[in-house]
Amino acid sequence: MTRDVLVDAGPSQYLENISVGPHALVADEPADFGGADAGPNPYELLLAALGTCTSITVRMYAQRRQWPLQDVRVKLSHGKVHADDCAGCATENRTIDRIEMEISLLGDLSEEQRLRLLEVANRCPVHRTLTSTIEISARGAPSADAMTTLGS
């Protein structure tokens, strides 16, 4: 079960304070986009979520099988590519998002184990979420004034 994530504006232009249970993070935009580069930008946080889920999933799988996996390193990048440059793209948009993920598996693994772990990496829960149909529902929260009135 995931905890609620709370994001609110920080003290500078695009700095955002993020709370997840007892954990505090920040996000920001690079200086080129008007931010102060005080934290990762939203796409970098998305890549971090995918990378951490991939690594954890691979490590759990290897541990259950008692395979000699010593470390997993996941390097990710995000960009936009023209749909015409993407073989088999089924989109009407002129550009699509592409995430490149390079996975290094360290340890005395057989080739068969390495191939299996790479298959498992492509099925981590965040990967499956990002490649499925996602429905996002945004609604306005009650204002603080309305909450005070309701509570009185």
Against a cut of 0.75, is the pTM above it?
A: yes
Question: CA dist 13 to 21, 37, 48, 114, Å?
Answer: 25, 11, 23, 45
Closest CA to 103 of 41, 45, 50: 50
Give the architecture-level CATH label for domain 41-130.
2-Layer Sandwich (3.30)
List beta partners, residue 74.
103
User: Which pLDDT score, from 0 to 100, does residue 86 have?
Assistant: 54
Chain centroid offset of residue 37 CA: 19
Q: What tens-digit pLDDT sequence spans the chain (152 residues)?
A: 789 999 999 888 999 999 999 999 999 999 999 999 999 999 999 999 999 999 999 999 999 999 999 999 999 999 988 766 555 555 555 688 999 999 999 999 999 999 999 999 999 999 999 999 999 999 998 876 655 554 54
User: Which pLDDT score, from 0 to 100, does residue 121 have?
Assistant: 97
The single-letter code of the amino acid at 82 is H
User: Which pLDDT score, from 0 to 100, does residue 143 have?
Assistant: 78
Domain ranges (residues) in the chain: 1-39, 41-130
User: Which pLDDT score, from 0 to 100, does residue 103 have?
Assistant: 98
User: Which pLDDT score, from 0 to 100, does residue 50 have?
Assistant: 98
Long-range own/partner contacts, residues 61-66 (CB < 8 A, 24 or more apart): 61/117, 61/120, 62/107, 62/113, 62/117
List beta partners, residue 96.
81
User: Which pLDDT score, from 0 to 100, does residue 25 have?
Assistant: 95
> Whose structure tokens read 């996975």?
103
User: Which pLDDT score, from 0 to 100, does residue 4 have?
Assistant: 93
Counted residue by residue, the chain has a size of 152
Contact 65, 109 (CB under 8 A): no
